Amino acid sequence: MKKRLLASRVFNDTGDWFYYFVIVVIIYTMSRNPIMMGILSASYTLPGILVSKKLANIINKLNDRTSLIMFDLLRVIVLIEIVLTSNVWVALICVFLEQVFAIGSNLSFQRVTVDVVQDKEGLLKFNRHLKAFSNISRLLVIPSYLLLHRFVLGLDILFTIVSLFETFRIETTHCKSSAEDIGSLELKKFHFGKITKMILVFSLLNVFRSFVDAYGIMYIGKISKNVSVGYAALVFILSIADLLGSLMSKNIIKIENLSQNKILIWSFTSILVLFTIPSVIHNVCCFIITIFLIRLVLSILGLFVLYNMQSSVPEKIHQYTALQTMAIDGVSLVNSIAGGFVIQEIDIFNYMKIVILTVLILEIIIKNINTSNAT
């Protein structure tokens, strides 16, 4: 079952890599406007804020495997519509819907994972393998895009369908989530303790990932004439960073070290320092190298946070994952809305400095909040 679950998600993630790469290129080609790029970013961050909680409650009432299959089928339908449309606004609406169903798929997948992989060492190994194989497949994106361009979206549909076939073969040990024990997802049910604080800090640091996703291509366009090559190099190097992060996590994320906050503190400090460099030194190579290192740290930290949730709150994993999705997408949405306008008024380099200062202030606030509860 573990191998089928792993294969199912690797195929699913492979399709997603094609989708996320090509949709950015399409929108940027149609309008080189920072506000339009912000709207695109918002179209796949708003769903996390608006529907994560509702989706978690729906999954509570369904068979975990059934909900996973349902959401992936809906994703296939929306992806087909993106392939068929030539209207940018229809495409953006479809991006929004695709993200809604992708969130539902991820929440269901987390439930299936803690059901199928129940031992702690197995979870660490499963997470690491999933991350590694998914990022190896991501390396297919750039050569496939150069050959197929817009038809790359068809590969996303194909891989999602293959993922569905693998999901159909998975057997779970219980028919539905324990709704009677968990109750509905209400934010007031979450105590501000170790896990919640970890989620918030990780979500806050994801503003740097969000910046690259939304404005990385604009940073390169600001200082380089060859945008396509620069952006392709950025996507490729980020894939390598995520792959190395999954491999390095084996020696960093260990059960006996999970109670310590060293990984969290080290990650926060190193990311802030690294992001300062390209805001001062305006060079494509410098930008790509520092973003590579930031992504490497975020990749390791992401696995660290995921395992903490899986091992600390397995019965509520989809709910805490929903909380994390809401927090990350909330940060991304603020970046999408504010970033485009701020960049237009000043410039992208000064905006980067504003982001650094804002994150530092918010981290100080989070650190000073009482964290007496366990989770």
Residue 292 has pLDDT above 70, yes or no: yes
pTM for this prediction: 0.74
pLDDT-derived band of residue 156, with 50, 70 and 90 as boundaries?
A: confident
Per-residue DSSP letter, 62 = S
Least confident of 11-15, 73-77, 355-359: 11-15
Show the CA angle centred on residue 176, arms to residues 173 and 178, nearest 5°: 100
Question: Quick check: helix, strand or coil at residue 255?
Answer: helix
Average pLDDT of span 368-375: 55
- Residue 316 scores a pLDDT above 80: yes
* pLDDT above 90 coverage of the chain, percent: 9
In 281-371, alpha helices (H):
284-312, 317-345, 348-368
E strands in 20-74: none
**Residue 183 backbone dihedrals phi, psi, to 5 degrees:** 80, 180
Beta bridge partners of 67: none
- CA 338 to chain CA centroid, nearest Å: 20
pLDDT tens figures, 16-67: 777 776 777 666 666 666 666 677 777 877 888 888 888 888 888 877 788 8
DSSP state of 140: T
> Is the confidence at residue 372, as pLDDT, over 70?
no
CA end-to-end distance (rounded Å), the chain: 30
Two tokens at 4?
């089928």
Cα separation, 268 vs 374, in Å, equals: 22
Percentage of residues in the chain having pLDDT higher than 70: 81
State which amino acid sits at residue 319: Q
Determine the pLDDT at residue 331.
Answer: 87
- Neighbouring residues of 50: CB distance < 8 A, sequence distance ≥ 6: none
| pLDDT 10s digits, 229-265 | 787 788 788 888 888 888 888 777 766 555 556 778 8
**Nearest CA-CA partner of 116 in 2, 282, 274:** 2
Nearest to 228 by CA among 273, 284, 175, 188: 284
